């Protein structure tokens, strides 16, 4: 099913939102996520890999970043792309894990 932007504009206009182009929808989404999370800002990204990269850059990460030995290929690749060195540890994990020493 394809929904046209004009239909979305009409729906959101009824709720008091003015949508001129698709990026306005992204802004609306980010603002709602920030409000829900109680933060000043939120950023919508296209992948968890890009979120990881931006987080490491925001934290000004450097040096070693310890991760589980068995993980997705994109994780150590992204750590290296952020100019850090992945260090592998034999850890069992499920769901999420910490990038040591970062929280």
The predicted structure's pLDDT at residue 61: 97
pLDDT (0 to 100) of residue 19: 81
| Lookup: tokens for 84 | 């850090």
Q: How far apart are CA 36 and CA 14, in angstroms?
A: 22
Confidence band (pLDDT; 50, 70, 90) for 99?
A: very high
Higher pLDDT residue, 8 or 101? 101
Whether pLDDT at 74 is above 80: yes
End-to-end CA distance of the chain: 40
pTM: 0.74
Q: What is the rounded CA–CA span in Å between residue 5 and residue 11? A: 10
């Amino acid at each position: 099913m394809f929904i046209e932007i004009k239909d979305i504009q009409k729906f959101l206009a009824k709720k008091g939102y003015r949508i001129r182009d698709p990026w306005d929808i992204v802004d609306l989404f980010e603002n709602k996520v920030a409000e829900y999370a109680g933060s000043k800002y939120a950023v919508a990204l296209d992948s968890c890999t890009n979120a990881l990269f931006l987080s490491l850059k925001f934290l000004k990460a450097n040096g070693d970043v310890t991760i589980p030995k068995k993980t997705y290929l994109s994780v150590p690749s992204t750590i290296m792309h952020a100019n850090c060195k992945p260090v592998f540890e034999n850890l069992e994990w499920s769901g999420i894990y910490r990038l040591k020493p970062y929280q």
